[in-house]
Amino acid sequence: MAATDGFVAIRDINPQAAAHLLVLPERHVESFREIGQFPAEEAKRMLEFVAEVAAREGLTDYRVVVNVGPGAGQTIFHLHWHVLGGRLSGRMA
């Protein structure tokens, strides 16, 4: 769907909202607990890319969610941001 230096955005294969996108770093980081592995500038670029992806999708009102650990619903152990717009469904509702 979109890419920038070090990050990609894809559509979730099991959407929980009308628009459900995932933003991932290309390098492996298991979860948000390890966010400190990103230098400040890289973390800033990642968050800016999350906002850019939402704007590209035409979203003005949306949620950005990070599930951290199995108890919070993390099922893929690679850091990723959920960008959810429109009516929510499933476990994200």
How far is it, in rounded angstroms, from Cα 34 to Cα 58?
30
* CA–CA gap between residue 30 and residue 60 (Å, rounded): 29
Choose, from 20, 78, 80, 82, the residue flagged as catalytic. Answer: 80
For 63, list phi and psi in degrees, rounded to 5: -110, 145
20 is annotated as an active-site residue: no
Among all residues, which ones are annotated catalytic?
80
